[in-house]
Structure 1
Amino acid sequence: MANGVLRTGRVALALRLVAVWGPGLLVMLADTDAGNVVTAAQAGAQWGYRLLPLWLLLIPPLYMVQQLTVRLGVFTGRGYAELIREHFGPWWAWISVAGLAIATVSSLVTEFTAVAGIGELYGLSRTLTLPFSCAMLLLVATMGAYRRVERTAIVVGLFELAFFVVAWSSHPDHATVLRDLSHMPFGDRTFLYLTAAVIGATFNPWMVFYQQSGIVEKKLGPADYRSACWDTAFGAVLTQALCAAVLIAVAATFGSAGKPVLENIGEVSLALQPALGPSIGRFVFGLGVLGAAMVAAIVASLALAWGVGEVAGFRHSLGERPAKAGWFHGAYVAGTLGSAALVWRVADLVWLNIAAQVVNVFLLPLVLGFLVALASKALPAERRLRGWYRVVLIGVCCGVCAVGWIGGLSQL
């Protein structure tokens, strides 16, 4: 009898965890977006395994930052932009959303560039792939319920697991790994610039907006806090591991051939062909990139729509019809179609993807500054940032921003 009760309790706990999980995992899958993948590939091609430790070292800071959004969403029931408006005024709220818009458009351009590039590998013109991908994204917004959108996006994002297959098949040489890690070219400007791109790829501003609003939309409360933190922790490890897998695969198959500069998504695919073969390699990589690009496009577009709706003070829920939530759906459509139109005219260049990540670095002080300030001011007294953890968190945020800015400015 006791065993049966214990087993029932464990099942109930497991079901509760599954019900709560979603916003953290989804935002982390979106963090492994096409720009992140291309940045990892470029890092592996140019510098071998030298930037691999950075990706892994960023796991704790990534969790610490996103965990604040969990805390704010669960204990205040308000979105990030909404809290800024309440505690710092509409002017600062609109500035934060302006930064969000820049980051979102940069990311969406990157995602659509990747979709177009993968299509062109198979002879499909971007005049076909871009309208189709836009239609899919707009269809997602009409699903109504947040949980339905969340499940759909997670399924799409799981295609990213193909990157683990790519890394496993590349058979990295352990001696080469150790040799690369023993020599770090900190005086090289290109290395520093890629370091900034890695940081910008890891900390996307729209991640903060999305996860906090997603928690509010999902109606998670204080009882869900621990499960939501585990959701975020698992996602943080997964996203960095996926990017590390891309870097390892490219470094193993392409990094020893000098210092190439990848010009387009097709060249990244070619870099992986020696490991998997021309047909399978291209297909597996393409599948992973498409999954990464589409889930990131969904999350970034929703983050922009939620942010605009929260600051404007209008309805901003997926459950609301477009006629009742015009700001929300209008921002979603404008961000999606506008970014796709830009890609229609822009060449498929890797430098554009990497530059978009560096833009994120310059926006980090604004996003992280408000996040820490809100966690110190907007939360209930017993849940506010305090003590040594507050000091460590501020130190980590300042350190990440400083390294990112130094790297980003190194090319000037």
Structure 2
Amino acid sequence: MPATANPPKPTRAPPDVDAPAMPRRGRFLTVFGSGLVVMLADSDVGSVITAGQSGVRWGYRLLALQLLLVPVLYMAQELTVRLAIFTGRGHGELIRDTFGPLCAWVAALALTIASAGALLTEFSGVAGVGQLYGLPRFASLPIAAVALLAVTFTGTYRRAELFAIAVGLFELVFFFVAWAAHPNADALLAGAIDIPLRDPDYRYLAAANIGSVIMPWMVFYQQSAIAQKRLGPQHLAAARWDTAIGALLTQSIMAAVLIACAATIGRAGANPTLSSVGQMAQALTPFLGTRVGNLVFGLGVLGAAMVAAIVVSLALAWGLNEVIGNRRSADADPLKTSWFRATYALCVVAGALFVALWPDLVALNLAVQVIDTLMLPIVLGLLIALAVTALPRAHRLRGAYLWIVLAVAAVTCTLGLFGGLSGAGLV
């Protein structure tokens, strides 16, 4: 892709470069939120269902992948932290200024596709929880759509971040779910090292898991959120810790979901599979009873759906505004722009209608994650290119770490693309 030899300087100096030092605790509290929120959103409904299907279909054979993806996730999101802090610009704005409008619109297209897909998965989770309580999709989905539009159009991004953390913490119930399932330790260890790579169904699910980890809207959100907070170099260490904790937390949640489903539904007969979102709640019935099991699962899924919907909406708002050339001001609220509201309303209404009519919500979720996998080369390619060219020289991606990042990105993209295409019978 075309790149300028000397990319344009930031429109403003990185914020707070000369700000007086503050205690480490104060720095962390100033930074805390963006990394954790985006990671909680990463374990959204689509990711939860993908992890659940992985456990049901393959037992513990995809567990090791969940842990191997922790450094991959951190590596990608740490670059967004670095770019935001040392350029003071969001992802879409930085792509446009560095590589031109064409590359920016390519990134915006990937963002829009991924955001629409994410909203589909969140709606599928809401529909699944509604069905647990006897609500048909045509009753639960309009309620969810109206609630999303109301929260997004009447709130501000600062309030949205705090609300997202609060509801996202409901996902922690999945750790209790895994514990309640009483997995067999010997079976867990034996399954984790049994990797049937020759099976196309396994490769397809592996690709879906990879796609559920790094998504365009995550990159756009975290970089824009940090730029919006006007964080400076003195916040870099705290922002990295925020991101590292979030990366470990989200993949631990995915591992917990996989373990719970493998230890329960995965034991039932030959080649078991999820046929509905609510079936995952049935895994808890023997341990918690139907009422409590449905409540625990419902809280976890709704928490995942809400935090992801908020993050996706903010990422879409920031990304589209940056790509069309709207500069950010300190007090500008991206949720109040007409461009965003029209696009978001269309995605929400179309997404709710699509999920209401689609018969197999589990297959829909897996397909969305695989589509995200197919966009990985664009997402990681632009991210690494920016880290090499747009940062101040002292903070650019270079040397041995550059080659490590390139190798990890190449392996991740290759495995994801090959798994997705071969699992779909295209190669």
TM-score of the superposed pair, with normalisation by structure 2: 0.90
Q: Is the 8 A contact 1:141 1:318 kept in 2?
A: no
1:298-322 Cα shifts (integer Å, max 9, x gaps)? 1112211211111111266795478
1:410 is paired with a residue of what secondary structure? helix
**Residues 30-109 of structure 1: matches in 2 within 5 Å?**
30-109=41-120
2:278 is paired with a residue of what secondary structure? helix
**Residues 197-346 of structure 1: matches in 2 within 5 Å?**
197-257=208-268, 258-314=270-326, 320=332, 325-346=337-358
Once residues 107 and 118 of structure 1 are traced to their aligned partners in structure 2, the CA distance between those partners, rounded to angstroms, is: 17
User: What residue number does 1:5 align with?
Assistant: none
Once residues 171 and 295 of structure 2 are traced to their aligned partners in structure 1, the CA distance between those partners, rounded to angstroms, is: 12
User: What residue number does 2:7 align with?
Assistant: none
User: What residue number does 1:395 align with?
Assistant: 407
Once residues 305 and 318 of structure 1 are traced to their aligned partners in structure 2, the CA distance between those partners, rounded to angstroms, is: 16
Q: CA deviation at 1:182?
A: 4.2
- For structure 2, the residue ranges without an aligned partner over 5 or more in a row are 1-20
User: What residue number does 2:36 align with?
Assistant: 25
Once residues 361 and 275 of structure 1 are traced to their aligned partners in structure 2, the CA distance between those partners, rounded to angstroms, is: 35
1:92-128 Cα shifts (integer Å, max 9, x gaps)? 1111111111111111101101101111110123333
Q: Is the 8 A contact 1:315 1:327 kept in 2?
A: no
- Of 373, 383, 396 in structure 1, the residue corresponding to residue 395 of structure 2 is 383
Once residues 291 and 405 of structure 1 are traced to their aligned partners in structure 2, the CA distance between those partners, rounded to angstroms, is: 30
Q: Is the 8 A contact 1:316 1:328 kept in 2?
A: no
Q: Is the 8 A contact 1:305 1:330 kept in 2?
A: no
- Of 349, 355, 359 in structure 1, the residue corresponding to residue 361 of structure 2 is 349
Once residues 376 and 38 of structure 1 are traced to their aligned partners in structure 2, the CA distance between those partners, rounded to angstroms, is: 36
Q: Give the paired residue count.
A: 403
Q: CA deviation at 1:183?
A: 2.6
Once residues 336 and 361 of structure 2 are traced to their aligned partners in structure 1, the CA distance between those partners, rounded to angstroms, is: 40
Residue identity matched to 2:208: A
1:28-62 Cα shifts (integer Å, max 9, x gaps)? 00000001000111010011111101000110111
Note the aligned Cα RMSD (angstroms). 2.0
Q: CA deviation at 1:203?
A: 1.2
2:60 is paired with a residue of what secondary structure? coil
Once residues 235 and 159 of structure 1 are traced to their aligned partners in structure 2, the CA distance between those partners, rounded to angstroms, is: 15
Q: Is the 8 A contact 2:56 2:272 kept in 1?
A: yes
Residue identity matched to 1:210: Y
Q: Is the 8 A contact 1:117 1:348 kept in 2?
A: no
Q: Is it true that 1:406 corresponds to 2:418 in the alignment?
A: yes
Once residues 111 and 72 of structure 1 are traced to their aligned partners in structure 2, the CA distance between those partners, rounded to angstroms, is: 29
Q: CA deviation at 1:386?
A: 0.7
- For structure 1, the residue ranges without an aligned partner over 5 or more in a row are 1-9
Once residues 216 and 323 of structure 1 are traced to their aligned partners in structure 2, the CA distance between those partners, rounded to angstroms, is: 16
Residue identity matched to 1:400: T
User: What residue number does 2:384 align with?
Assistant: 372
Change in Cα spacing, 1:279 to 1:336, as seen in structure 2 (3 Å) is same
Q: Is it true that 1:138 corresponds to 2:149 in the alignment?
A: yes
Once residues 333 and 260 of structure 2 are traced to their aligned partners in structure 1, the CA distance between those partners, rounded to angstroms, is: 45
1:303-358 Cα shifts (integer Å, max 9, x gaps)? 11211111111266795478972223333333323322322322242011011100
Once residues 178 and 329 of structure 2 are traced to their aligned partners in structure 1, the CA distance between those partners, rounded to angstroms, is: 39
Q: CA deviation at 1:265?
A: 0.6
Once residues 343 and 421 of structure 2 are traced to their aligned partners in structure 1, the CA distance between those partners, rounded to angstroms, is: 32
1:28 is paired with a residue of what secondary structure? helix
Residue identity matched to 1:269: A
Q: Is the 8 A contact 1:146 1:319 kept in 2?
A: no
1:260 is paired with a residue of what secondary structure? coil
Once residues 276 and 43 of structure 1 are traced to their aligned partners in structure 2, the CA distance between those partners, rounded to angstroms, is: 23
1:369-399 Cα shifts (integer Å, max 9, x gaps)? 0000000111111111110000100110001
1:269-320 Cα shifts (integer Å, max 9, x gaps)? 2233223322211211111011101111111122112111111112667954
User: What residue number does 1:3 align with?
Assistant: none
**Residues 115-134 of structure 1: matches in 2 within 5 Å?**
115-134=126-145
Once residues 335 and 249 of structure 2 are traced to their aligned partners in structure 1, the CA distance between those partners, rounded to angstroms, is: 38
Once residues 329 and 286 of structure 2 are traced to their aligned partners in structure 1, the CA distance between those partners, rounded to angstroms, is: 47
2:342 is paired with a residue of what secondary structure? helix
TM-score of the superposed pair, with normalisation by structure 1: 0.93
Residue identity matched to 2:307: V
Once residues 295 and 314 of structure 1 are traced to their aligned partners in structure 2, the CA distance between those partners, rounded to angstroms, is: 26
Task: Give 1 or 2: higher helix fraction.
Answer: 1
